[in-house]
Amino acid sequence: MRRSGPEVPKQRDGDHVYDADRVQPARHAVSSLLFFAENLGDPRPTDRLRKVAASQVISLLQWVENKNARKRTEEARKKGS
């Protein structure tokens, strides 16, 4: 989007030209990296939800496994009788 008004001074950084009043990409990248590095150890808000959901899925799979094992046991008893 083009701004109206006086021309914004430009800064030269190697092969790139930036507006003087904007954050330069290198500074922005470093600040983003620092932000993520500082927050790496913090638990994410969804961690608890993921653990609960995983626990429920594991419980369901164990229930299905036990149900199938009982069914196989009953079938084996019927064949043996």
Q: How many CB atoms neighbour CB 68 within 10 A?
A: 10
pLDDT in tens, 6-51: 555 555 555 555 555 555 555 566 777 787 777 777 778 888 899 9
Provide the pLDDT for residue 61: 97
Provide the pLDDT for residue 69: 95
Query: Rounded to an integer, what distance in angstroms lies between the CA atom of residue 39 and that of residue 45?
Result: 12
Query: Rounded to an integer, what distance in angstroms lies between the CA atom of residue 35 and that of residue 17?
Result: 26
- Whole-prediction pTM value? 0.45
Q: How many CB atoms neighbour CB 18 within 10 A?
A: 15
pLDDT at 3 over 60: no
Query: Rounded to an integer, what distance in angstroms lies between the CA atom of residue 47 and that of residue 68?
Result: 32
CA nearest to 76, candidates 20, 61, 68: 68
Query: Rounded to an integer, what distance in angstroms lies between the CA atom of residue 43 and that of residue 70?
Result: 40
pLDDT in tens, 47-75: 889 999 999 999 999 999 999 999 999 99
Q: Are 31 and 25 in contact (CB under 8 A)?
A: no
